[in-house]
Chains A and B, each alone.
Chain A
Amino acid sequence: MSDKGMNLTLKIWRQKDSKSKGKMETYKLSDISEHMSFLEMLDVLNEQLINEGQEPVAFDHDCREGICGMCSLYINGEAHGPDRGITTCQLHMRMFNDGDTIVIEPWRAAAFPVTKDLIVDRSAMDRIQQAGGFISVNTSGNTQDANAIPINKSDADKSFDAAACIGCGACVATCKNASAMLFVSAKISQFALLPQGQVEAKERVDNMVKQMDLEGFGNCTNTGACEAECPKGISLENIARMNREFIKSAVLKDK
Chain B
Amino acid sequence: MALSGFFLLFFLLMHLSINLLSVFSEDAFNTVSHFMGYNPLIQFLMQPILIAGIIFHLVMGMVLEMKNRKARGVSYAKNNAAANSTWMSRNMIITGIMILLFLVAHMIDFWAHEIDYKYIAANAEDPTRYWEELHHKMGDPLHVGIYVVAFVFLSLHLMHGFQSAFQSVGFNHNKYTPAIKKLGTLYAILVPLGFIFVALFHFLTQSH
Direct contact of A and B (CB under 8 A): yes
Query: Which residues of A line the B interface, CB within 8 A?
Result: 11, 13, 24, 74, 76-78, 82, 103, 105, 108-111, 174, 176-179, 216-225, 228-229, 236-237, 239-247
Are A103 and B73 closer than 8 Å at their CB atoms? no
Are A218 and B73 closer than 8 Å at their CB atoms? no
Q: How far is the CB of A152 from chain B (nearest CB, A)?
A: 15
Stretch of B24-32, B44-52, B79-87, B194-202 lying at the A interface: B79-87
Output the nearest chain B residue to A245 by Cβ-Cβ distance. B170
Are A241 and B170 closer than 8 Å at their CB atoms? yes
Q: How far is the CB of B6 from chain A (nearest CB, A)?
A: 14
Residue from the list B64, B77, B163 in contact with A105, Cβ < 8 A = B77
A-B contacts, 25 listed (Cβ < 8 Å)? A77-B81, A103-B77, A103-B78, A108-B72, A108-B75, A110-B72, A176-B68, A176-B85, A177-B71, A218-B67, A219-B68, A223-B89, A223-B160, A228-B84, A228-B85, A236-B167, A237-B173, A239-B172, A240-B167, A241-B172, A242-B170, A243-B168, A243-B169, A244-B170, A246-B170
Interface residues of B in 163-183 (CB under 8 A from A): 163-164, 167-174
Query: Which residues of B line the A interface, CB within 8 A?
Result: 64, 67-68, 70-81, 83-86, 89-90, 92, 160, 163-164, 167-174
Output the nearest chain B residue to A237 by Cβ-Cβ distance. B172
Are A105 and B68 closer than 8 Å at their CB atoms? no
Chain A contacts of B79 at CB under 8 A? 74, 77
Output the nearest chain B residue to A173 by Cβ-Cβ distance. B76
Are A225 and B84 closer than 8 Å at their CB atoms? yes
Q: Which A-B residue pairs are the 9 nearest by beta carbons?
A: A77-B80, A240-B172, A218-B71, A244-B170, A177-B68, A228-B84, A110-B73, A243-B170, A223-B89
Q: How far is the CB of B185 from chain A (nearest CB, A)?
A: 15
Chain A contacts of B71 at CB under 8 A? 109-111, 177-179, 216-219
Give Cα A103 to B173, complex, Å.
38
Main secondary structure of the interface of A (DSSP, over half): mixed
Are A222 and B70 closer than 8 Å at their CB atoms? no
Chain B contacts of A228 at CB under 8 A? 83-85
Residue from the list A11, A78, A178 in contact with B73, Cβ < 8 A = A178
Output the nearest chain A residue to B79 by Cβ-Cβ distance. A77
Q: A77-B80, A110-B73, A176-B85 are in contact. List 6 more A-B contacts (CB 8 A).
A: A24-B77, A78-B84, A221-B89, A222-B160, A243-B169, A244-B170
Are A76 and B74 closer than 8 Å at their CB atoms? no
Are A76 and B80 closer than 8 Å at their CB atoms? yes
Output the nearest chain A residue to B174 by Cβ-Cβ distance. A237
Output the nearest chain A residue to B88 by Cβ-Cβ distance. A223
Also in contact, A240 and B171, with CB within 8 A (given A77-B79, A111-B71, A221-B92): yes
Are A223 and B76 closer than 8 Å at their CB atoms? no
Give Cα A177 to B69, complex, Å.
6
Are A179 and B68 closer than 8 Å at their CB atoms? yes
